[in-house]
Amino acid sequence: MPLTKRIIPCIDVDLDENGDAAVYTGVNFEDLRYTGDPVEMAKKYNAAGADEFVFLDITASAEGRETMLDTVSAVADECFIPLTVGGGIRTREDIKETLRAGADKVSINSGAIANPELVTKGAESFGSQCIVISVDSKRRFDERGEHYVEVDGESCWFECTVKGGREGTGLDVVEWAVEAEERGAGELFVNSIDADGTEEGYDIPLTAAVCDAVSTPVIASSGCGGPEDMYEVFTDAGADAALAASIFHFDEYGIDEVKAYLDEHGLPIRL
Amino acid sequence: MNSRADIVVVDYGLGNLRSATRGLERAGADVTITDDPEAFAAADGVVLPGVGAFREGMENAGPYRDALTEHAEAGRPLFGICLGMQMLLTSSEEAERAGQGDVTGLDLIPGRNVRFRDVETVPHMGWNDLSVERDHPVVEGVDGKYAYFVHSYYAEPDDDDAVMASTDYGRRFPAIVANEAGNVFGTQFHPEKSGETGLRILRNFVDYCVEQ
């Protein structure tokens, strides 16, 4: 058997009004809705047969940071599958603290764009297997890109954005993916601002462009509305793993249901 | 099994001790994390975890070499995880490739660790299935099940009988190796991150330690 395609639930964690960590689920990076307790959700997905678990700290505040590391530890204690933690990681020390709290991998986004050397240093110090580079891509139909693909009959490139898609960086996603891989990133985590929260399917042109450019495993994220979308991103784009949040959090689909569908359609899946 | 086993997890400065410990506790063990080789004698079993490079691992494990050898030769259970498994062998291509010369492993299972060749992606990372090759209480109930791997090197024991379970990644390679007596073994994958299957192996190990 080849390696299985991985199904990964993801939680976005913020502080609630009492200063406790809570999971929120959003649409287009806005309209956050309270979804549950991080530890309870980790238990649920662990028991349900998730292949990995992703925890994103969206507090982006200094006071949130400590609470988050405690929450990461509590989640890690219930996670007998690989745990990736991201959000606000900017230094080697941040990586170390997060791994020490119990994460198996860290996901780094704007911290790596601001300081690409962090990818190199992180991989050297802790191993490529724990350095995941995450991008928030936005489609651009102008002349500033490096790698163009045809989308809806128009020529399009993908820009790395920061601050939940509100700020462009001018950096081409495909270009950056190749650089991150060369610097030692062990996986690429590809989010799409255009597809996020739509439940209309993953950004296939984006995911395919990244998969074609690198040999590092690619985790497709944003836009999943159901198992057909996962099938599409595995077969049409070549993703190694598919991440989803709302379809699992709002019980539209169970992990087992999604996996059974993909298995029936001939994909290698851990049942 | 109702009786609990006292398991020692060796803290030699590398590896995810927290998850290995939590997995063993969930499997019914009383776990002590220790950097004191004297503590091995009182334990029902010793676990050697590990993430990182072979040379660094062996250098850090230097102070434990004699105690681990003694423990293994007394026929008592020793379980290596990932790099901890690779360290049970004699040598590794990794140290040579890095220009660090010959680094001697614990040599409890004669053989060498070699790098994957002719495969699309190294490291081998993700969930892959196990084929049990040799009966042993530790691998009961896990044939055909999936485990979580992250590694670029794999064990090549001198004796084929040392392969307790194998996995396919471009070629067949040992997923679990053991010495002849069966008291020293190691998994290339991470049982503490392999869901129910991993917990089953840890429970099997804890039961085995109690019986010894």
Residue in A136, A172, A194, A203 annotated catalytic: A136
Annotation says A12 is catalytic: yes
Q: Provide the chain B residues 27-66 that lie in CB contact (below 8 A) with chain A.
A: 51-52
Task: Give the pLDDT of residue B100.
Answer: 72
Fold held by B5-211: Rossmann fold (3.40.50)
Tokens representing residue A75 in the block: 């989640």
* DSSP reduced 3-state for B163: strand
Which chain B residue's Cα is nearest to A99? B16
Is the pLDDT reported for residue A54 higher than 70? yes
Q: Which helix (H) or strand (E) holds A23?
A: strand A21-27
- Separation CA A190–CA B54 (nearest Å): 32
Mean pLDDT of A38-59: 95
How does pLDDT run along chain B (212 residues), one tens digit per residue?
446 899 999 998 776 688 899 999 999 999 999 999 999 999 999 999 987 788 888 988 999 999 999 999 999 999 999 999 999 999 999 887 777 778 899 999 999 999 999 887 888 999 999 999 999 999 999 999 999 999 989 999 999 999 999 999 999 999 999 999 999 999 999 999 999 999 999 999 999 999 98
Residue A1 falls inside a structural domain: no
Which chain B residue's Cα is nearest to A52? B193
Question: Which CATH number goes with the domain that contains A75?
Answer: 3.20.20.70
Task: Give the pLDDT of residue A105.
Answer: 94
Kindly report the nearest CA distance between residue B73 and chain A, in angstroms. Answer: 32
Tokens representing residue A114 in the block: 């601001």
Count the alpha carbons within 13 Å of A149 in the hemisphere toward its beta carbon. 17
pLDDT class of A63 with cuts at 50, 70, 90: low
Q: C-alpha angle with apex A217: A28 to B127, nearest 5 degrees?
A: 105
Instruction: Tell me whether B98 touches chain A (CB under 8 Å).
Output: no
B123–A3 C-beta distance less than 8 A: no
Kindly report the nearest CA distance between residue A79 and chain B, in angstroms. Answer: 8
Residue A31 falls inside a structural domain: yes
Kindly report the nearest CA distance between residue B192 and chain A, in angstroms. Answer: 6
Residue A155 falls inside a structural domain: no
A129–B195 C-beta distance less than 8 A: no
Task: Give the pLDDT of residue B3.
Answer: 64
The CB density around residue A266, as the number of other CB atoms within 10 Å, is 9
Residue for token pair 């196990």: B130
Task: Give the pLDDT of residue B122.
Answer: 82
Tens-digit pLDDT profile for residues A3-23: 999 999 999 999 998 989 999
With b for 16 or more beta-carbon neighbours within 10 A and e for fewer, the B138-153 pattern comes to bbeebeebbbbbbbbb
Which member of B26, B121, B126 has the closest CB to residue A4?
Answer: B126
Tokens representing residue B201 in the block: 């192996």
Residue for token pair 């690989």: A82
Domain count, chain A: 1
Residue A152 falls inside a structural domain: no
Q: Which residues of A touch B26 (CB under 8 A)?
A: 80
Full domain range(s) for residue A235: 6-134+173-265
Is the pLDDT reported for residue A29 higher than 90? no
Task: Give the pLDDT of residue A195.
Answer: 93
Is the pLDDT reported for residue A2 higher than 80? no
Tens-digit pLDDT profile for residues A106-152: 999 999 999 999 999 999 888 888 999 999 999 999 999 999 999 98
Mean pLDDT of A53-70: 84
Which member of A77, A99, A217 has the closest CB to residue B125?
Answer: A217
Which member of A6, A79, A216 has the closest CB to residue B127?
Answer: A6
Is the pLDDT reported for residue A28 higher than 60? no
